[in-house]
Amino acid sequence: MGRSPCCAEDADVKKGPWTPEEDQKLVDCINEHGHGNWRALPKLAGLNRCGKSCRLRWTNYLRPDIKRGKFTEEEEGEIIKLHAVLGNKWSRIATHLPGRTDNEIKNYWNTQIRKKLLNMGIDPQAQAQAHTHKPRTDLNHLLNLSHLLCASHPWDTAFKLAKTQLLHNLLKIINSNLASQNPYSFQGFLDGTSTLSGKQLAPTAPKPLNITENAGATATSQNPWAYNFGGDLNSEGKLGISNRSLSTSAVVQTENPLPELVSESLHQTSSPINHMDKMADAATYEAWEKLIMEDDDDCSCWKEFLDLSSST
């Protein structure tokens, strides 16, 4: 299947930067005829360009509804939030940011946000590649996350990034623990039988976020997460996270529900958990615990996640 590049047959087709005259021709043509057929459009407009180039020029630059100028704090936060859910689906992200193009967002991510991630010690590759998410789980980094959460204000970009990565780490651990005998199991975390720093964890377990209400699912009154994370292993011993276990939460109703986190952990289902993993898990729980304690009366961050996921 497939086909040769659209302009391969047109060796003399013009490439490179567009001139104002070419822009005008393209705009005039689209205003008059619309852009139903990009391949035919260059001829119609009298342009020596390939249709692909015309489409790109229009969608990324000439479209009348394009917003120019720097990204605002709100837009940046939105991008981070969306990227956490959608990965590198720039066009999908762009649909949530009116006036911004996928190319612009992609460039902004690669030049600005990526830099911030690096400065914060967050693995940019994990953030940038939707299908190879590998949140850092080394202890130093987890402590970093914890410190970031404590040091930054909830509306800071740093805070949002740290929360995002923390959630990823947590989901990763949940997935692997459900299929293993990790003494730091998430179930233990939930029911309070696992301890961190000598403390029982149950009192600080997450509050219900009404994530099950909309989906019509039920959660135990004592432990709203029990249903959602309660372990839904399929016949292969793998976590059926996409259907029942987490499907009641909007988190995994997304098109791209962190698949790499799931698959990665599933590969480790039978492998022994080494000491460093346990320490990393414990550090993640600790960071989580801090976040929950500080976020006790405001679950807005998780609501944001859920709202976002359910809207995609």
Judged by CB under 7 A, the residue of 90, 189, 285, 288 near DNA is: 90
Judged by CB under 7 A, the residue of 81, 83, 92, 133 near DNA is: 92
The verdict on 89 binding DNA (CB under 7 A) reads yes
Instruction: Tell me the closest approach of the beta carbon of residue 237 to DNA, in angstroms.
Output: 28
What is the 3-state secondary structure of the chain?
CCCCCCCCCCCCCCCCCCCHHHHHHHHHHHHHHCCCCCCCHHHHHCCCCCHHHHHHHHHHHHCCCCCCCCCCHHHHHHHHHHHHHHCCCHHHHHHCCCCCCHHHHHHHHHHHHHHHHHHHCCCHHHHHCCCCCCCCCCHHHHHHHHHHHHHCCCCCHHHHHHHHHHHHHHHHHHHHHHCCCCCCCHHHHHHCCCEECCEECHHHCCCCCCCCCCCCCCCCCCCHHHHHCCCCECCCCCECHHHHHCCCCHHHHCCCCCHHHHHHHHCCCCCCCCHHHHHHHHHHHHHHHHHHHHCCCCCHHHHHHHHHHHHC
Interactions with DNA, residue window 229-288 (CB under 7 A): none
Whether the Cβ atoms of residue 206 and residue 303 lie closer than 8 Å to each other: no
For DNA, the closer CB: 55 or 244:
55
Which range, of 56-64, 176-184, 245-253, 281-289, touches DNA by CB under 7 A? Answer: 56-64
Sole residue written with tokens 């016949």: 235
The verdict on 191 binding DNA (CB under 7 A) reads no
Judged by CB under 7 A, the residue of 27, 91, 212, 266 near DNA is: 91
Q: Residue 269 class from Cβ within 10 Å (0-12 exposed, 13-18 middle, 19+ buried)? A: middle
Measured distance CA(292)–CA(206) in Å, rounded: 6
- Structure-block tokens of residue 10: 């047109």
The verdict on 24 binding DNA (CB under 7 A) reads no
The verdict on 37 binding DNA (CB under 7 A) reads yes
The verdict on 30 binding DNA (CB under 7 A) reads no
Instruction: Tell me the closest approach of the beta carbon of residue 66 to DNA, in angstroms.
Output: 9
Judged by CB under 7 A, the residue of 75, 76, 78, 104 near DNA is: 104
Instruction: Tell me the closest approach of the beta carbon of residue 234 to DNA, in angstroms.
Output: 24
The verdict on 56 binding DNA (CB under 7 A) reads yes
The verdict on 113 binding DNA (CB under 7 A) reads no
Judged by CB under 7 A, the residue of 30, 83, 108, 205 near DNA is: 108
For DNA, the closer CB: 158 or 239:
158
The verdict on 112 binding DNA (CB under 7 A) reads yes
Instruction: Tell me the closest approach of the beta carbon of residue 277 to DNA, in angstroms.
Output: 28
The verdict on 17 binding DNA (CB under 7 A) reads yes
Tell me, by CB under 7 A, how many residues bind DNA. Answer: 42
The verdict on 225 binding DNA (CB under 7 A) reads no
* Binding footprint of DNA on the chain (CB under 7 A): 1-3, 5-7, 14-18, 37-40, 49, 51-53, 55-57, 60-61, 88-92, 102-104, 106-108, 110-112, 115, 128-130
